[in-house]
């Protein structure tokens, strides 16, 4: 646990008592603060109260009179699409608002660090797609190289639940826009921006608000190194804002769409090969074509980001390549779950938006595509560049018929349920084809999470093999 510092003997409010909220309450208590907690679910409040925490309904008048700060769980919208009433009450009372990520960064360092040969470092990864794979890949490479590393944030453990890092240790954090938008302290040593596409627009009040939430990771603390995906305008803009000139190697640009060979530091992947350039000269190369855990251009982008981050820590290209080759990938992300009679079955349930689904469609050929769910803002037109790889779509979700109507030129079958979609896709699949779950939509019309949706796909496939 990382005890929270700076609130000794003070009352600190904690709103939302899920994983991050309860972790924050415990870490505040460990640091000498007095957590005062609230959740809209009475049964959760009862459970937390039984652990010895004070419970207080912060919607009542005067609830913030003795509160030093309010810690908000990331799942609670604080401003858009409408101001949260409790957050608004705290702000009206002059109470600062923060989250567990902010508490982590203000509390991580301790008095022992000056005695260490190599003080610990934090790598923070954000972006629209690939955050989890990139974070897990960095963590895997470091552990494979014999380094002390911990994985936390939006993946793995809660940020305040990790062990205090040891001499030379590295903490790898996956940070969503929900986490970066509110944190009052954001000071990673290395910050990674994978890519950018429309997502969570209602939560952030539009595309500009979404980018602003991501940008805070780089603008608030000023990381020593920034790894930036520049294939979208937003990434190119961010890299330009952080750089002092063309040769500034504090900014490492990454790409899977173009060759980057300027005077600075860059990593790019083209035609299955990853290349590193520094000061206009090649400094490393990896053949990605046979690395099973990282298929497709989108995973090559993740590999570029992980490679760049690990190079800043002094790891050699050969050590990083060894980590690539032993990486199995993450569940629900281009996960090959089975093969039979020349047909591959791929679970990419994490493809919850159009951009991530497009990358999955472009990573495979001859696709029997299972798609659909709770559609996000922006429509499905962005999928068009990948539809040429689709033999047929099997559409699931409560609004499956409406989803199918938007897939112009694609042979579609409205299946509604995963059971029916898998049954029909498996019945029609032939040698050399892939049955791919890449929904291009959220799961919440039928499932509690994308993990549950992916698990259902795996179960339906497994029982028919």
For residue 280, say whether it is annotated as part of any ligand binding site: no
Cβ atoms of residues 225 and 250 within 8 Å: yes
pLDDT in tens, 426-440: 999 999 999 999 999
pLDDT at res. 214: 97
229 occurs within a structural domain: yes
- 200 and 285 share one domain: yes
Say which residues have a Cβ less than 8 Å from residue 397's Cβ, sequence separation at least 6.
372, 373, 374, 403, 416, 439, 441, 445, 446
Is pLDDT above 90 for 441? yes
Range of the domain at 63: 11-98
Question: What is the pLDDT, as a whole number, of residue 334?
Answer: 87
Pick from 98-112, 246-260, 308-322, 386-400: least confident: 98-112
Residue 253 pLDDT exceeds 80:
yes
Whether 113 and 194 share a structural domain:
yes
Q: How many CA atoms lie within 13 A of 246 on its CB side?
A: 6
Indicate the residue among 81, 98, 115 that finishes a domain.
98
Residue 311 to residues 108, 278, 315, 316, 352: CA-CA distances in angstroms?
24, 12, 5, 7, 31
Was 356 annotated as part of a binding site? Answer: no
Q: Do 128 and 216 reside in the same domain of the chain? A: yes
Average pLDDT on 190-195 reads 98
* Whole-angstrom distance, CA of residue 44 vs CA of residue 30: 21
> Which two three-digit tokens encode residue 140?
């895997």
Q: CA-to-CA distance for 28 and 48, rounded, in angstroms?
A: 14
**pLDDT at position 110 over 80:** no
Q: Are 44 and 14 within 8 A, CB to CB?
A: no
What per-residue confidence (pLDDT) applies to 45? Answer: 96
26-78 pLDDT tens trace: 999 999 999 999 999 999 999 999 999 999 999 999 999 999 999 999 999 99
46, 78, 98: which is the final residue of a domain? 98
Token digits for 190?
A: 């290395």
Are both 87 and 119 inside the same structural domain?
no
**Which of 62, 83, 98 is where one domain is finished?**
98
Annotated binding residue 376: no
Buried residues in 435-445 as b, exposed as e (16+ CB within 10 A): bbbbbbbbbee
What percent of the chain is modeled with pLDDT above 90? 88
Tell me the pLDDT tens digit for each residue of 352-382.
999 889 989 998 999 999 999 999 888 899 9
240 is in an annotated binding site: no
- Domain with residue 32: its CATH number is 3.40.50.720
Distance from C-alpha of 222 to C-alpha of 188, rounded to nearest angstrom? 8
* Averaged pLDDT score across all residues of the chain: 95
Whether 140 and 218 map to the same domain: the answer is yes
76 and 217 belong to one structural domain: no
* Two structure tokens written together for 421: 């979609």
Within-domain flag for 6: no
129 is in an annotated binding site: yes
Q: Is residue 154 part of an annotated ligand binding site?
A: no
* Per-residue model confidence as pLDDT tens digits over 314-347: 999 999 999 999 998 888 988 889 999 999 999 9
Going by pLDDT thresholds of 50, 70 and 90, the confidence category of residue 156 is confident
Instruction: List, for residues 214-240, the tens digit of each pLDDT value.
Output: 999 999 878 999 999 999 999 999 999
pLDDT score recorded for residue 109: 81
pLDDT given for residue 329 in this prediction: 84
| CATH, residue 213 | 3.40.1190.10
Sign of the torsion angle spanned by Cα atoms 245, 278, 288, 317: negative
Strand-pair category, 170-174 with 121-126:
parallel
Tally of domains in the chain: 3
* Residue 153 Ramachandran class (φ > 0 left, ψ -120 to 50 alpha, else beta): left
349, 309: one domain: no
- In the chain, pLDDT over 70 holds for what percent of residues? 100
What tens digit of pLDDT does each residue of 287-300 get?
999 898 898 889 99
* Contact call for residues 22 and 65 (beta carbons, < 8 A): no
Closest by Cα among 74, 99, 102, 78 to 88 = 78
114 vs 402, residue with greater confidence: 402
In terms of domains, do 204 and 297 share one? yes
Q: Are residues 59 and 172 in the same domain?
A: no
- 128 assigned to a ligand binding site: yes
| Residue 330 is assigned to a structural domain of this protein | no
Residues 6+ positions from 282 with CB-CB distance below 8 Å: 275, 276
| Residue 86 exposure: Cα atoms within 13 Å on the Cβ side | 23
In a domain, 3, yes or no: no
230 and 188 within one domain: yes
Cα–chain-centroid distance for residue 388?
A: 28
Alpha-carbon distance 2 to 419, whole Å? 44
55 and 136 part of one domain: no
Q: Does 145 have pLDDT greater than 80?
A: yes
- Prediction pTM value: 0.86
pLDDT of residue 296: 86
Q: What is the pLDDT of residue 111?
A: 66
Whether pLDDT at 279 is above 80: yes
Distance CA 346, CA 364 (A): 10
Q: How far is CA 84 from the centre of its chain?
A: 24
- Check whether residue 398 and residue 340 sit in a common domain: yes
Q: Which of 225, 196, 224, 221 is nearest to 211 (CA)?
A: 196
């Amino acid at each position: 646990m990382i005890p929270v510092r700076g609130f000794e003997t003070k009352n600190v409010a904690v709103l939302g008592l899920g994983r991050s909220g309860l972790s924050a309450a415990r870490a505040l208590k460990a640091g000498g603060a007095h957590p005062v907690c609230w959740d809209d679910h009475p049964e959760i409040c009862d459970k937390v109260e039984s652990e010895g925490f004070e419970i207080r309904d912060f919607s009542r008048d005067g609830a913030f009179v003795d509160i030093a700060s309010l810690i908000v769980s990331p799942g609670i919208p604080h401003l858009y699409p409408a101001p949260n009433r409790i957050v608004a009450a705290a702000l009206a009372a002059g109470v600062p608002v923060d989250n567990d990520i902010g508490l982590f960064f203000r509390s991580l360092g301790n008095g022992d660090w000056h005695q260490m040969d190599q003080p610990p470092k934090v790598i923070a990864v954000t972006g629209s797609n690939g955050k989890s794979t990139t974070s897990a890949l960095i963590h895997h490479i470091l552990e494979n190289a014999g380094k002390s590393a911990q994985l936390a944030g939006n993946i793995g453990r809660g940020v305040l639940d990790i062990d205090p890092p040891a001499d030379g240790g590295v903490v790898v954090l996956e940070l969503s826009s929900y986490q970066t938008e509110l944190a009052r302290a954001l000071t990673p040593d290395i910050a990674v921006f994978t890519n950018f596409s429309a997502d969570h627009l209602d939560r952030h009040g539009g595309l500009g608000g979404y980018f602003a939430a991501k940008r805070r990771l780089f603008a608030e603390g000023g990381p020593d190194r920034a790894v930036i995906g520049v294939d979208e305008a937003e990434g190119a803009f961010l890299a330009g804002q952080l750089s002092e000139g063309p040769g500034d190697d504090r900014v490492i640009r990454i790409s899977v769409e173009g060759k980057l060979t300027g005077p600075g530091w860059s990593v790019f992947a083209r035609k299955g090969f990853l290349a590193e350039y520094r000061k206009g000269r090649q400094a490393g190369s990896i053949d990605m074509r046979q690395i099973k855990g990282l298929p497709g251009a989108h995973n090559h982008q993740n590999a570029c980001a992980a490679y760049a981050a690990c190079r800043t820590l002094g790891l050699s290209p050969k050590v990083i390549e060894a980590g690539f080759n032993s990486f199995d990938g993450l569940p629900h992300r281009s996960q090959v779950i089975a093969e039979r009679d020349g047909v591959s079955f791929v679970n990419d349930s994490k493809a919850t938006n159009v951009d991530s689904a497009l990358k999955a469609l472009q990573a495979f050929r001859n696709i029997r595509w299972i798609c659909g769910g709770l559609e996000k803002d922006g429509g499905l037109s962005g999928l068009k560049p990948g539809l040429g790889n689709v033999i047929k779509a099997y559409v699931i979700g409560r609004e499956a018929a409406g989803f199918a109507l938007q897939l112009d030129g694609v042979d579609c079958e409205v299946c509604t349920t995963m059971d029916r979609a898998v049954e029909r896709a498996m019945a029609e699949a032939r040698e050399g084809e892939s049955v791919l779950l890449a929904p291009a939509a959220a799961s919440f019309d039928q499932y509690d999470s994308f993990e549950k949706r992916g698990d259902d796909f795996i179960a339906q496939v497994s029982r028919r093999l």
